Chain A
């Protein structure tokens, strides 16, 4: 390992993982992961099952030792510290509430271990129970509470310690959709109120996008891309990110010229598409690429209508047109053999205007909405 491991400055990021690797025997769960998480951020780790989210979180919490790499909390190297010496708390996926203790004692557990005075414990527990809307449940045992209530106890039990950061491993995973939506909003509110860093693990992109300020998309043990929801959605760096966050239509081809403001991209079947040069990551140099466009950015035009000036255009035929209420979704078979999805807002009503299956159409979009990504799910920088 290199020796240039630098601790972040004291006013720098709250959590830093530096080239962290975790192996379980043959399995590489986390593969050279580097991330900086800013103080006070609501940071989501998003990725498919088995990509190493939980393992990453457990290394921050101290439950797993990294095979390689360094973990910093608040500027301090904590790689070798046990969990009870780290100023972070975890909300476990299964809640892990103590079944033999009532709500009051579950929540007070951390404060009692840190020898906080009796009166202070009482006060802080009451405060946090109010914040999590659990006042009145002090004497209940976990088994006597609903899933949503237990989830809030787990949150209260962690928050009451006022840790530097709160680690949440799919905290809403076990709840039904309605309750999940409600608690998403509550969690966000609580995070704003207490102002501490939240690291939230989820495999639900919608959840990550509604709640987090920043999202790191993980795949096979590393971070593909980190950024705001808008950045990830509008300018994904990799094919994996493009297709993991929302739908994305992708087409193979080669970059022809990359001079000037727009680059010329020739698709595998000879069509020319324009891509803003600024979208081209220098790291892509020479590697095979794909151009993508989001379904809602596409306009469908009858084939005999001239294409708008300066637009990217592909020819195709409508396979399916589904009426979704607020929108109409088309599946279009392009001349090059791809299946593109297009979504048009239902502005004119009732499908009167809509194009039916079998119609030849033009798929047009503003070149500014083109996405350029490296082919395959690999990390752009690797």
Chain B
């Protein structure tokens, strides 16, 4: 039997722990990515088949053709993320600091997940429908003109994304707020901070890890989402996810779909890195301790 020194075993141990996750990533992430990378550089069509020929022009063509959908995706996702944050923060704050029924309220937040994503979004179709009560009500109070509609508008798509991803913002926010020791806020008020200043100088910085995590969990899937645009919007609201979806599943233009996926991935990565930089990940780590 191979006898390893304690030191060697110690240094191997982390890799042992990493093993299963690493294997998972290789099989279900690295390999598919490489194969998609391979596909993205092919040309041809579905009848005659695709051939690999380092076709980098697929990327530039895809970008120039679908620039609008890209911009729209990032715009919608950003607005929805900000809306989620604005709605979730007071909600999470209330549950963490003021509520006596935390568990019930948390359950209510995740309760929509008990229903299928698609079904929930289609339900919104009914809610926002032209002859639905929401539209009637808004028309009656004058917030919507008489031929105004909600369905098939940008507002509907953003509202749908906000609704569908709200729990991804609210839960991490709740966790980071819940962790804050009340005595820190007392200490701040003891040191001449008003309630507002204590919030700004203590609560908010300590909630940053939650804001960071929640924003990423909301923004990243929202950028790639196509369900909301498909069911609550029209082709004029289509996001890049809709394009990729139809290229893959309808038109079977695999190279373009793969290239668009890659571009999306890299832009998201760049955006996340910029965001992390702006918030200061080092401070985030320290605050998390």
Chain A contact residues, CB within 8 Å of chain B:
61-63, 82-84, 89-90, 92, 94, 96-100, 109-110, 113-114, 141, 143, 157-158, 161
- Residues A110 and B283 in contact, CB atoms below 8 Å apart: no
Measured in the bound complex, the distance between the Cα atoms of B190 and A32 in whole Å is 25
State whether the Cβ of B286 lies closer than 8 Å to any Cβ in chain A: yes
* Nearest CB on B from A169, distance (A): 10
- Residues A84 and B184 in contact, CB atoms below 8 Å apart: no
Apart from the given pairs A82-B194, A84-B191, A114-B192, 11 other A-B contacts in the complex at a CB distance below 8 Å: A84-B189, A92-B186, A96-B183, A96-B186, A96-B187, A100-B202, A109-B193, A109-B201, A143-B289, A158-B190, A161-B191
Chain B contact residues, CB within 8 Å of chain A:
181, 183-184, 186-194, 197, 201-202, 205-206, 283, 286-287, 289
Measured in the bound complex, the distance between the Cα atoms of B186 and A61 in whole Å is 10
* Nearest CB on A from B213, distance (A): 16
Q: Find A99's partner among B191, B197, B289 (CB 8 Å cutoff).
A: B289
Q: Find A157's partner among B181, B186, B191, B283 (CB 8 Å cutoff).
A: B191
Q: Is the interface of B mostly helix, strand, loop or mixed?
A: helix
Please name all residues of chain A whose beta carbon is closer than 8 Å to the beta carbon of B287 when the two chains form the complex.
99-100
26 pairs across A/B with beta carbons < 8 Å?
A: A62-B189, A63-B190, A82-B194, A83-B189, A83-B190, A84-B189, A84-B192, A84-B193, A84-B194, A89-B191, A92-B183, A94-B181, A96-B181, A96-B186, A96-B187, A98-B187, A98-B202, A99-B206, A99-B287, A100-B202, A100-B205, A100-B206, A100-B286, A110-B191, A110-B192, A113-B197
- Residues B183 and A113 in contact, CB atoms below 8 Å apart: no
Measured in the bound complex, the distance between the Cα atoms of B193 and A62 in whole Å is 13
- Residues B187 and A92 in contact, CB atoms below 8 Å apart: yes
Given A84-B192, A84-B193, verify A141-B286 contact (CB < 8 Å).
yes
Measured in the bound complex, the distance between the Cα atoms of B289 and A96 in whole Å is 14
- Residues A61 and B190 in contact, CB atoms below 8 Å apart: yes
Q: Find A84's partner among B190, B202, B205 (CB 8 Å cutoff).
A: B190
Please name all residues of chain B whose beta carbon is closer than 8 Å to the beta carbon of A141 when the two chains form the complex.
286, 289
- Residues B188 and A109 in contact, CB atoms below 8 Å apart: yes
* Residue in A82, A90, A157 whose Cβ sees the most chain B Cβ within 10 Å: A90
Q: Find B183's partner among A94, A100, A158, A161 (CB 8 Å cutoff).
A: A94
* Nearest CB on B from A4, distance (A): 31
Closest 9 pairs (CB-CB, A-B) = A110-B191, A96-B187, A113-B192, A96-B183, A100-B287, A83-B189, A84-B192, A100-B205, A143-B289
Please name all residues of chain B whose beta carbon is closer than 8 Å to the beta carbon of A113 when the two chains form the complex.
191-193, 197
- Residues B187 and A82 in contact, CB atoms below 8 Å apart: no
B181 to chain A: closest residue by CB: A96
B197 to chain A: closest residue by CB: A113
Measured in the bound complex, the distance between the Cα atoms of B202 and A113 in whole Å is 13
Given A94-B181, A100-B283, A141-B286, verify A161-B187 contact (CB < 8 Å).
no
- Residues B191 and A109 in contact, CB atoms below 8 Å apart: yes
Please name all residues of chain B whose beta carbon is closer than 8 Å to the beta carbon of A63 when the two chains form the complex.
186, 190
B204 to chain A: closest residue by CB: A100
B198 to chain A: closest residue by CB: A84
Measured in the bound complex, the distance between the Cα atoms of B189 and A89 in whole Å is 10
Please name all residues of chain A whose beta carbon is closer than 8 Å to the beta carbon of B183 when the two chains form the complex.
92, 94, 96
